[in-house]
Structure 1
Amino acid sequence: MTDKSELLRQLRIDREDRPAHTAPSRRWWWLAGLLVLLIAIAAGLFFGLHAAVPAVQAVVARPVATGAGPESGTSILDASGYVVARRQATVSAKITGKLDQLFIEEGVHVKEGDIVAKLDDRNATAALLQAKAAVTQAEGTLAQAMSAAADIAPIYERDRKMAAAGVISTTALEQSKANYDEKQTDVTVEQGNLAVRRAALEVAQRDLDDTIVRAPFTGVVTSKNAQPGEIVSPLSAGGGFTRSGICTLVDMDSLEVEVDVSENFISRVQAGEDATLKLNAYPDWAIPAYVIAVVPTADRSKATVKVRVGFKSRDPRILPEMGARVSFLSRPQKGANGAASAGSVTLPLNAVQASDGAAMGVVYVLHDDTVERREVKLGVRSADAQTVIAGLSAGERVAVGDFTKLSDGAHVKVVDR
């Protein structure tokens, strides 16, 4: 029995006989695990918070280059069109005839009244000679009638006195008076005949004059439509081989530009305001211009309104039918001292939040690591830039990024491009 008890005592595990370092080692493992967990939570919070801050890029608002004069404005709208002449004419003869001589070529400058061409005048000259002969004949006939009337006047006067004295009968006096009246009527008839002949002479003279074609105004010949030997007519008489015009004449002082402006932007254009245009042939040449008029009708097929733009100065390089691009300028804003303020700036398209055709837009101005939501007034929009004409100053930094993640006062992270 004693042996069994001793054997059981030997097999029992005595907890008090554990090594002294066992309990502290387990506690250190618990502390290490807790520390690792805290570090993981802190890292998650740190990266989570930083991941929630939107990343943006910064762009600088750059001033718009304006003209040298104080009246210069900034472009608020661009439109394309063509140079047209308000005064041009197809010069033709007033009568039908064969073109005999031509005195012009394309590009020739002519003055009002200069001879452009001559028609074959042989028939007109013959008609004029015939009319002159008829006038001469009528003048002779009138002279003869007047002479006869003058001869019979004293005879009638004598017969009237003799009848009063009872020398001749009343019947003889009546016959003398009839002869006298007949001669006076002959004079009246011949005077009318002479007037008709003289009118016919005037017509024949005009027909001869009409064989000479003159320039109706000062201008430049832009096209020559007929050659000597061809039949020309103002009414295209004689079929398809008859020319209705001899040349086209353009008054270069009447050149202007016609552009089509979208209905969405027509409210920005007003008559009398300044503009700048560039010809496609001379893209680096800025030509001062002004708005002549906004044509008061719209083209519903294109949803546009036609605008007439005039040149402030003339230049021989400006030719009809040239393509042109017009920049309509805003009125310069006046500062406190009365001087014009050049407040317009340009930004990339992705820096402005705006719908197509809108006059106002939204930008987010950077202040260190926060943004300010600001409404701005928009100007012209090009293929890669947007002009801001009010609400933003040159040099201010604007955020470019996901606008859905930006709000007024939001924190952002500025990254390099």
Structure 2
Amino acid sequence: MAEHDLEKLKIDRGPSAAVPRRRRNWFRYVLIALILLALAAVAFRLTGPQAVESATVTSVYPSQSYTLLNATGYVVPQRKAAVASKGQGRVEWLGVLEGTVVKEGQIIARLESDDVAASLAQAQAQVKVAQANLELQRAELKNAEVDLKRFKILAPQGAIPATQYDAALARYDKAQASLNSDAASIVSARANAQAAQVAVNQTVIRAPFDGVVLEKHANVGDNITPFSSASDSKGAVVTIADMKTLEVEADVAESNISRISVEQPCEIQLDALPDVRFAGRVSRTVPTVDRSKATVLVKVRFVDRDARVLPDMSAKVAFLSKPVPPEEKKAVVAVQPSAVVTRGERKVVYKIDNDTAREVPVTTGERIGDLLAVQGVKPGDVVVLSPGDKLKNGARVTLAKK
């Protein structure tokens, strides 16, 4: 009996005893994994990307520091004409296209001229007829004058009747009057011929001044009728402009007009040429106010002519307190001053590249408005604003949400 009790005290080392132990080991492994994950999360939170504010490096012009005010407008030629003819007719020849450079007096187009040419020939023939009649009357006057002189000698002697003398005198007076009439007829015929010549000249359309063709309104075969509103007729053949007279017409608020004066220096920027600044001068101020916009029209001329400047380009005008010196005509790189910090003896900015802050040494220049001129970075670079002392070179960063 005692031996049987001892058998009960033996430890069972079979498969059924190993199961609880494996369960305890699996629970231990899971607990360790959770602890490691928690530690990793804490470490990631402590060493994760820093949230920073950023700014973009830009390019500015030094003239912005002494700009009094800005205005917008358009490039407009002050000498512009819609070229037409006072005569009517069909276009039979057109010698220009858009962009063609023309000289004063150059033939632009011709209208059909058969009818007016025939009228001119007829008028010129009438002049010749009047001249022939004049010569005939001169001969008649000369003959009447000879007879009158003869009868003046014979009449006092009674060789001829007094009535014959009176007839010779009347013939002379009539010949003199006819001569004067024919002379007036020549003047009238020549005037008619001149009018016909003007009509012929009007069929030839010429450039009124040196310029460039901006628009072509008619083609060969179109009817030109300047003073008609018919749908199938054209008024002008082309529109030309003198490119030497290009100016910028800018709208300036009437509250700022006192800050503008004639010959005031300006800087002109065209939307089509954003990287170029053109020197300008205030030409004149139109002495009226646009009620709807409360603005005054100010005209600014270009100091130097540039072939790239075209009519109707959008423009921005900066009215300056002084002319731009030659050394300040080029753009400079600038950033917000808070982006520049001192590290040791160097001034640096932190450039953001692939979510990493890279320390870049810079050289600072003058203040230009709210910006600071720098060298060492280029326009378009993104830098950290107000980087703290904890921000190190190579640190991971993320942009703070605004």
Indicate the residue corresponding to 2:81 in structure 1.
Answer: 89
2:121 to 92, 115, 129: 129
> Distance in 1 between the 2:369 and 2:68 partners?
7
2:76 aligned with 1:76: no
Matched, 1:140 2:169: no
Deviation at 1:85, TM superposition (A): 0.8
- What is the distance in 2 between the residues matched to 1:125 and 1:306? 49
Give the Cα–Cα distance (whole angstroms) in 1 for the partners of residues 67 and 163 of structure 2.
103
The answer for the alignment partner of 1:276 in structure 2 is 267
Matching of residue 323 in structure 1 with residue 321 in structure 2: no
d(CA) in 2 for partners of 1:253, 1:332: 22
Contact 2:71 2:250 in 1 (8 A): yes
TM-aligned CA deviation for residue 273 of structure 1: 1.0
Report the Cα offset of residue 332 of structure 1.
7.1
Alignment deviations for residues 124-145 of structure 1 (CA, whole Å, 9 cap, x no partner)? 1111111121111111111111
Counterpart for residue 291 of structure 1: 282
Q: Map Cα deviations across residues 164-221 of structure 1 (whole Å, 9 max, x no partner).
A: 2232233222121111111111111111111111111111112111111000000000
Match of 1:167 among 159, 173, 193: 159
1:202 aligns with 2:198: no
Q: 1:127 to 1:415 in 2, by over 3 A?
A: closer
Q: Measure the CA separation in 1 of the matches of 2:260 and 2:270.
A: 20
Report what 1:66 is aligned to. 62
Is contact 2:65-2:368 (8 Å) kept? no
The TM-score, its normalising length taken from structure 2, stands at 0.65
Q: 1:327-406 to 2 correspondence within 5 Å? A: 327-331=318-322, 387=369
Match of 1:263 among 223, 246, 254: 254
Q: Does 1:178 align with 2:174?
A: no
Quote the RMSD (CA, aligned, Å): 3.3
Question: 1:65-119 CA distances to partner (integer Å, 9 max, x unpaired)?
Answer: 536xxxx982121111100010000000121111110001001000001000001
SS at match of 1:245: coil
Distance, in Å, in 2 between the alignment partners of 1:282 and 1:186 is 76
Residues 347/328 of structure 1: CA separation in 2 closer, same or farther (3 Å cut): farther
Contact 2:266 2:281 in 1 (8 A): yes
Separation in 2, partners of 1:292, 1:81: 14
CA–CA separation in structure 1 for the residues paired with 2:61 and 2:117: 68
SS of residue in 1 equivalent to 2:234 = coil
CA contact (8 A) 2:266 2:323 kept: no
Aligned partner of 2:55 in structure 1 is none
Residue 310 of structure 1: aligned partner: 301
More displaced 10-residue stretch of structure 1: 73-82 or 140-149 = 73-82
Distance in 2 (CA, whole Å) between partners of 1:300 and 1:139 is 66
1:330 & 1:136 partners in 2: Cα distance?
72
Indicate the residue corresponding to 1:245 in structure 2.
236
State how far apart, in whole Å, the 2-side matches of 1:176 and 1:287 are.
88
* Cα distance between partner residues in 1 of 2:201 and 2:286: 41
Is the 2:265–2:323 Cα contact (8 Å) retained in structure 1?
A: no
Q: 8 Å contact 1:74–1:332 — kept in the other structure? A: no
8 Å CA contact 2:144–2:172 kept in 1: the answer is yes
**3-state SS of 1:284 partner:** strand
Structure 1 consecutive aligned stretches of length 4 or more whose deviation exceeds 6 Å? 414-417
Q: Report the TM-score when normalising by structure 1.
A: 0.63
Where in structure 1 are there 5+ consecutive unaligned residues? Answer: 1-63, 334-339, 341-345, 349-384, 395-413
Q: Which amino acid aligns with 2:193?
A: L
Distance in 2 between residues matched to 1:347 and 1:165, nearest whole Å: 124
CA distance in 2, matches of 1:103, 1:135: 35
Tell me how many residue pairs correspond in the alignment.
286
The range that moved more, 78-87 or 293-302, is: 293-302
Which residue type is aligned with residue 62 of structure 2? T
Q: By how many angstroms is 1:293 displaced?
A: 1.5
Distance in 2 between the 1:267 and 1:186 partners? 75
Unaligned 5+ runs, structure 2: 1-59, 329-333, 337-366, 374-385, 389-399
Are the aligned partners of 1:142 and 1:187 in contact in 2 as well (CA < 8 Å)? yes
Summarize deviations over 1:370-416 as a string: whole Å, max 9, x none: xxxxxxxxxxxxxxx9948xxxx99xxxxxxxxxxxxxxxxxxx996
